[in-house]
Structure formats: C-alpha cells, structure tokens
Amino acid sequence: MTDFARRPFALLALAVLAAAGPAFSQSPLPADLSGRVLPSFVELRVQAADGRTALGTGFLAVKDGVLATAWRLVKDAKAVVARFPNGEEFECSGVVDKDEKRNVALVRIKVFGRPVLKMEPAELLPGTPVAVAAVKDGAFGLVAASAGEAAVLDGVRLVRLAGEVPDGAYGGPVVDAAGSVVGLTVVLQVEGKAEALAVPAAYVLGLDASLQTQAWGAVPAAAAAPAANLTALDEIDARLGRGFLAVAEDDICLTWANEITRGYGFQSGVPEAVYRLQQGLDAAMAAVGEIRTDSELRLRVGRALVQILANQKAASENFIRAVVVGQQAKSWDAQSQDAQKRSNSIRQGIRGQIAALKADLKTLEAESAKFREFLPFEQRYNLGLAERSGGFRLGINSYPNNPFYLLIVAAGSVAQKIGLRPGDTIVSVGGRAFGVTDDIEELKLLIKSNLGKTVPAVVERGGKTQDIKLKIPKAIPADALTTD
C-alpha cells in the first residue's frame, strides 16, 4: 500500500495523509510517518557528462547541507538538481565522500535549516516493517515494505526488501517505525532479476561528511587522499586493534549483564560497566572513522569495523532499553523481552560480520606488528585468527586482556564443578602461575592432564588471596567436549 503526495499541493497533501494515514492502515508503521520523513527526501535529476539525464532520490543525512544517495546514480554527473516535495529545487555542488564498493555517497546540497533524518545503524532483522521513500509519476510518498533476509553480494552485506518498491526509490531512505533511516535503497540484478535491497545505514555513517567537496567532473574514479593527510600505518593499525577489542569487551560485558539481570536482577538497573564500555565504542568509532589511508586493506577493514561498532552500540542500547522498561513496569514484560531479543540478535549478526573479515584480518595480522599488539590470545580466538587447543568448554567468560579473571562461571559448567566461582582471578594451578598474557587454553590442557585428581590452586576471591583445591573429574563431560 502506498502513500503519495502530489506535487502542486504537496504540503497540504502531507498534512491530510498524516491525519488519515491510508498507507499503513494494515501495518504496524505509524500513520504520520510521511510528515516526518518526506520533508527531508528529494528527487535527484542527474545530468551526465555524455548528455544523458537520470532520475533517482536522496535524503538529508548526517548534517546540514549533506545528502545521502547511491554513488552509481551520481558518479558520472556533470550537474545535479534536488527537488523537495513542495516543489523547491536546489543545486548540488559535488561529492563529499563515497564508498564505491558499497554504492553510497554523500553529496553537498546548497540548502540550510532543513530537517536531517536520524540514522539508525542497528542490524535490520527479517520481518521488520519498514517504509521506503519513493517518487512515482511526479508524486512523493512512502511505500510499506518489510525487511527480508540479508545477503552478501560481491563482499557487501545487503538486506532484501519485500514489497512493491518502485523504481523511483533508488538512492532514497528505508525508514523504521520511528522514522529513523535503517538503510539506503538500491536496485540490483540478482540472478538476472531486478531486486530492491537496502544498503545498511552503518555504511552511510562510515563516510566522512567533513571532507572538502569535490565538484562534479573533478571526482577521480578512486579518490585518494593527499599524502600529507594520510594517517600513519601504525596509528591506523592501533585504532583498528583497539576498535575490535572495544567490540569484544562490550560483547562480554553484555553477556555478563544479561546474567545478573535475570530473575528480578533488572530491578537494580543497568550495570555501570555497560555505560562505560558503550563510551568506549563511541571513542573507537570516532577514531576509526577519522582514518585516512590509501591502503585498500585498511579501508575495507576500517569501513566494516565502523558498521560493527555501530551495531555493537545498538545491541548495548537495546539491552539498556530492556532493563529501563522493565524497571519502569516493575516486570520483565513483552517490551523488555523484545528489546533483549533484538540486542542478542544484533550480537549474533556481528559474529557473522567479523567472520566475513577473516581473510583480511589474517593478512593484517601477518603484516602488522602494531596490529598484533592488540591481539591477546582470547582476541585471536574471537576474531577467528587461531583455533582453540583445549578441546572442551570450561564454561567461563573473561575479558580478552584479563583472561584469568572469571567474569562469568556458568552453572553446571566444568569450571563450577571443579570449584571455581564468578569473580575469581586464577593466580596459579598445580604450581603453574597464570597472568594476563597467558592463554586460557593452557589451563584446559593442565586440567586434562590431571583428570581424577585434586589439584592445589591459588585464586584471588573477595579481595583476598586464597588457597583452594580443584577437584578434577575423571573425564570431561561429553556435553563440554567442544570449543569455547
């Protein structure tokens, strides 16, 4: 079902449609969505250098005077004019930044004071109701659709759009029920068939809106930053290393926070560590986003990491929302459960995003000593750069830089059964000392070599150093015989 506003009386039509809400009468999307989205939506008339004229769309995003659109729409432009739903037209002067592989670009538009759409970098889950902004027969409007399955095409993650998406949506926003942009519409040939897909909003956020505008016709096919503006490779690799560590630490923290908010634990509120590590994500995102390099490897990894960091923050925000709503309702109700499920689903998606980078991360690890400084043993396992050797699950969760501090000891796990507790820091086992630079897999191998025995250990527990006895089972339980 569609909701289009005719050009001659667009503003009046928008007001009427917002009140009547015919477009979404059969969907969970709100009836007033048009009035919130369309004032920031434009039709783009692109005159190419060869004389051809193409039509597409774009939207005000990131900051004043900047449009987001599809790169392939404007890459050969000689002149571009943007038309708003009320009929006003403004010149677009050139490209600010672009990502050719992901088909997204930021364009400078000579307008000020118009509303800028909020970008929501969270993963778009299958079945999520969305609206696609489009222009059809000169009318501006929204088309109700839903997110389909994600697909990786030529190394780029895209989300299929289910619904009748018109051609006039190319380059425009895909918005959620709150009116936030969750993607940018593109149309690609997939197995010989035209298919509408959403480029994730995080790819747009990975572009730099502060760059100097390059006039039409002056944009090189692969614009390289001047050498004086390039970031030193060691600095880039350090930022990338810190960024991946920030993701890992926040993910571990959310696992722990989910544990301690079970039952009635949510009534104690959001743990302070969740907010603190979320700030770390923001800092890492800013640092990675400022990278300037002519290294294709680092550009690929950096852009992917910006999206991963944005998704990790979205997972954290959904967890926080779950706890806050639960506190207010004094019950872990459907809203809290849905927010928690969304958080966990985003986190699962991030693991897939990291797995897709495995080849690039292996190359970066091999050639960069600086990047290797940010790869403690546990982080190498997290990034798929090494295989675990212990052969079984211990049932613990620890931060990569402090693997022997047991943030979580799962109920019924091997770790719990032999006598370890949450909050323990393992100092030594069987006379073998362990520190922050050691590998937890070495502890597993030590356990396997002492099956059926009682082994002395030293732990820091409750602020004190204690001697304890670890009672090792005669055999590793079958349900633990896998990797952590």
3-state secondary structure 376-405: CHHHHHHCCCCCCCCCCCCCEECECCECCE
Residue 166 has pLDDT above 80, yes or no: yes
Residue 472 has pLDDT above 80, yes or no: yes
pLDDT of residue 11: 27
439: Cα separation from own chain's centroid:
29
Residue 7 has pLDDT above 60, yes or no: no
pLDDT band at 229 (very low <50, low <70, confident <90, very high): low
Specify the range with the lowest mean pLDDT, choosing from 153-167, 317-331, 380-394. Answer: 153-167
pLDDT of residue 192: 65
In a domain, 17, yes or no: no
57 beta partners: 43
In a domain, 14, yes or no: no
Gyration radius from the chain CA atoms: 26
SS3 311: helix
Same structural domain, 72 and 151:
yes
Residue 1 has pLDDT above 90, yes or no: no
Same structural domain, 286 and 164:
no
pLDDT of residue 206: 84
Same structural domain, 273 and 289:
yes
SS3 108: strand
pTM exceeds 0.85 for this model: no
The CATH number assigned to the domain holding 472 equals: 2.30.42.10
- 329, 350, 381: which is the final residue of a domain? 381
- pLDDT tens sequence across 190-206: 666 778 999 999 889 88
User: How buried is residue 146: exposed, middle or buried, by Cβ count under 10 Å (0-12/13-18/19+)?
Assistant: middle
- 215, 241, 272: which is the final residue of a domain? 215
SS3 270: coil
Residue 67 has pLDDT above 80, yes or no: yes
In a domain, 220, yes or no: no
Cα–Cα dist 376/249, whole Å: 12
Helix (H) or strand (E) holding 441: helix 440-448
Same structural domain, 356 and 438:
no
pLDDT of residue 125: 84
The CATH number assigned to the domain holding 195 equals: 2.40.10.120
- pLDDT tens sequence across 416-443: 999 999 999 999 999 999 999 999 999 9
The count of other CB atoms within 10 Å of the CB of residue 366 is 10
The boundaries of the domain holding residue 376 are 233-381
The count of other CB atoms within 10 Å of the CB of residue 338 is 14
- 318, 349, 381: which is the final residue of a domain? 381
In a domain, 294, yes or no: yes
Determine contact, residues 160/195, Cβ cutoff 8 Å: yes
What is the rounded average pLDDT of the residues 37-49? 93
pLDDT band at 137 (very low <50, low <70, confident <90, very high): confident
In a domain, 226, yes or no: no
- pLDDT tens sequence across 239-259: 999 999 999 999 999 999 999
Cα–Cα dist 291/287, whole Å: 7
Cα–Cα dist 360/241, whole Å: 13
Strand 129-136 with 104-109, pairing: unpaired
Same structural domain, 81 and 136:
yes
Helix (H) or strand (E) holding 181: strand 181-190
Compute φ and ψ for 394, nearest 5 degrees. Answer: -80, -30
In a domain, 24, yes or no: no
Same structural domain, 316 and 276:
yes
Helix (H) or strand (E) holding 89: strand 89-99
pLDDT of residue 127: 87
Determine contact, residues 319/255, Cβ cutoff 8 Å: no
Same structural domain, 371 and 470:
no
Task: Count CA within 13 A, CB hemisphere, residue 358.
Answer: 10
- pLDDT tens sequence across 27-42: 457 888 999 999 999 9
Same structural domain, 365 and 465:
no
CA-nearest of 194, 152, 200 to 176 is: 200
Same structural domain, 85 and 179:
yes
Cα–Cα dist 154/360, whole Å: 15
Cα–Cα dist 283/288, whole Å: 9
Cα–Cα dist 440/401, whole Å: 11
Same structural domain, 193 and 336:
no
CA-nearest of 18, 80, 16 to 45 is: 80
Number of domains in the chain: 3
- pLDDT tens sequence across 103-131: 999 999 998 889 999 988 877 888 889 99
Share the mean pLDDT of the chain. Answer: 87
In a domain, 203, yes or no: yes
Buried b (16+ CB within 10 A) or exposed e, 12-51: ebbeebbeebebbeebebbbbbbbbbbbbbbbbbbbbeee
Same structural domain, 283 and 374:
yes
CA-nearest of 102, 116, 104 to 36 is: 116
Specify the residue for token string 């890992």: 248
165: Cα separation from own chain's centroid:
25
Is the backbone of residue 330 left (phi > 0), alpha (psi -120 to 50) or beta? left
In a domain, 1, yes or no: no
Output helix, strand, coil percentages for the chain, rounded to the nearest 5: 35, 30, 35
pLDDT band at 5 (very low <50, low <70, confident <90, very high): very low
347: Cα separation from own chain's centroid:
9
Contacts of 20 (CB under 8 A, 6+ apart): 31
In order of 31, 147, 187, the CA distances from 159 in angstroms are 24, 7, 11
Same structural domain, 469 and 398:
yes
